[in-house]
Structure 1
């Protein structure tokens, strides 16, 4: 394949548009002699004289007239193809569907606010939330999902993350539950009741149970469900107690989320470590302007939903 100097395409565009070697040289910030040499190279490459002297000006040959209809668009397309992605990114015209893996708590509490914000800027963007059965990084690697929101529980070394907020665990029960009688909730009183455990992968304990074990205590788990929202609904309709992220209680967009779901929340009588909720993605999309924009929108919603202490949404 013959090597082609694509700089000639830009020079040809200038010559066909300006119809003057001097004006074309000025447009491309070249000397007149350099542009004259370029015209000679173009004539050799195309086999056509392209520009012909007509009195004091130059006129296009018939072949050059044909080229003048095609070259400008071709130059613009080539420039766009070889430019940085952000230079051709327009969020207002973005038409794309993003697959996001997130817990039900995030969708329930922040999904509507996020979609409202995104729709204002990019009305043709779709968010497609998908189930989160585990923390496997493979869907991020193969592009099955574009982004994950939650706690980072993968050992995949290449995965990239951005902290969205810090969260902590609290207890919930129905508003007329016996445990709410009296002042405060003691650990002894808390352990008298049965508990519903939210465990996505079916494990029999979580960070709260680890903290209890360190103190030589254990709660009685009588039901295991796959999500925090399921645990909330069970607690709403029974004497079972549930442990959920504080973010599920509510935020600036849904200040009475727990009450609206028929629940009363309380601080746990056992100390647990706060945890990070992050956006998680694969490096292959790190510089994609549309993906970067989506990550920024999610972060902005999380920041707006909570005070600096970052009690926001569930993992």
Structure 2
């Protein structure tokens, strides 16, 4: 049986993450020529090109995509086995944790997370970063420690832990005509709506559900965040549609109602790169988020 150099798993993991010989060489402190030779060895062992040229960049082959999550998990498990057990001293922990999350989550849970961190690790610092997209590159590159949101199109190697479920509700200003009377799909669709989309999309699951009922709403305004939608709805006759739990405080002084059509619940999760699985401080941070979100009746343990 031909022996396999297990160190090549680390090289393969970095190559598939970076998709660049130069960047992979920099991360492993090797020369580009040494990394090119390592890639050639990996191609020989697997019988696959793994990374192929596409213009000025490299893209993974189907086999590479299949291997990426498996290799990353194996490398992370091996690092955890070899990492010495170190007791985490929260009182002396000096570290900045960067969490990517949308405005609604930060407004609802940011203060609670910050209070937990301050109480247990007074020298640690939280940096809440904007989340203009759902790319996992900031997690892979170590720029962000955690990302919070609804999972979709995430890199397969990333770790995901559900925090809670949320559902969408309708919101209008007090005194709005929809406050009085029964709510039907026709009445709901008769008023102009606000769509929340970072990419500028006007329609989504609500419109699909309305279409099944033979109704169609008019979207007059598109905004990038739920707090923006609520601010507009508070001052106009526009209808906002927002996640119930993440906007609990922001909806104060407004009228909230159940949507007249069924829409899927959303699961809000925390996401991180597997290289941080065994990091004691990072595990503590994830525990803080779980605890901060535990007020929700639909929290997922």
Structures share a fold, TM > 0.5? yes
1:258 alignment partner, SS class = coil
Residue deviations 1:225-263 (CA, integer Å, cap 9, x gap)? 00011001000010000000011342xxxxx5421xx32
Relative distance call for 1:88 and 1:192 in structure 2 (3 A) is same
- How many aligned positions are there? 220
How far off is 1:212 after superposition? 2.1
The match for 1:264 among 233, 251, 255 is 255
Residue deviations 1:175-203 (CA, integer Å, cap 9, x gap)? 11111112x31111111100011112212
Residue deviations 1:147-180 (CA, integer Å, cap 9, x gap)? 0011001241101100100111000010111111
How far off is 1:213 after superposition? 3.0
CA contact (8 A) 2:172 2:233 kept: yes
- The match for 1:106 is 105
- The match for 2:243 is 245
- The match for 1:209 is 207
- The match for 2:135 is 136
Q: In terms of mean alpha carbon deviation, does 130-139 or 84-93 score higher?
A: 84-93
1:273 alignment partner, SS class = coil
List structure 1 runs of 4+ shifted beyond 6 angstroms: none
- The match for 1:54 is none
Give me the whole-angstrom Cα distance separating, in 2, the residues matched to 1:85 and 1:245.
42
CA contact (8 A) 1:174 1:264 kept: yes
CA RMSD of aligned residues (A): 1.8
Give me the whole-angstrom Cα distance separating, in 2, the residues matched to 1:84 and 1:284.
12
Give me the whole-angstrom Cα distance separating, in 2, the residues matched to 1:192 and 1:85.
63
Q: In terms of mean alpha carbon deviation, does 208-217 or 271-280 score higher?
A: 208-217
Give me the whole-angstrom Cα distance separating, in 2, the residues matched to 1:176 and 1:296.
42
Give me the whole-angstrom Cα distance separating, in 2, the residues matched to 1:106 and 1:217.
31
The match for 1:229 among 207, 222, 227 is 227
- Structure 1 gaps of 5+ residues are 1-81, 251-255
Relative distance call for 1:174 and 1:144 in structure 2 (3 A) is same
CA contact (8 A) 1:85 1:289 kept: no
How far off is 1:310 after superposition? 3.9
CA contact (8 A) 1:96 1:124 kept: yes
CA contact (8 A) 2:195 2:201 kept: no
Q: In terms of mean alpha carbon deviation, does 263-272 or 205-214 score higher?
A: 205-214
- The match for 1:299 is 290
- The match for 1:219 is 217
- The match for 2:118 is 119
How far off is 1:86 after superposition? 4.5
Structure 1 length-normalised TM: 0.66
How far off is 1:85 after superposition? 5.2
Summarize the alignment of residues 1-315 of structure 1 with structure 2, pairs less than 5 Å apart. 84=83, 86-182=85-181, 184-250=182-248, 256-259=249-252, 262-303=253-294, 305-307=295-297, 309-310=298-299
2:264 alignment partner, SS class = coil
- Structure 2 gaps of 5+ residues are 1-80
Give me the whole-angstrom Cα distance separating, in 1, the residues matched to 2:268 and 2:196.
17
Relative distance call for 1:90 and 1:266 in structure 2 (3 A) is same
CA contact (8 A) 1:166 1:310 kept: yes
Give me the whole-angstrom Cα distance separating, in 2, the residues matched to 1:109 and 1:155.
24
CA contact (8 A) 1:248 1:258 kept: no
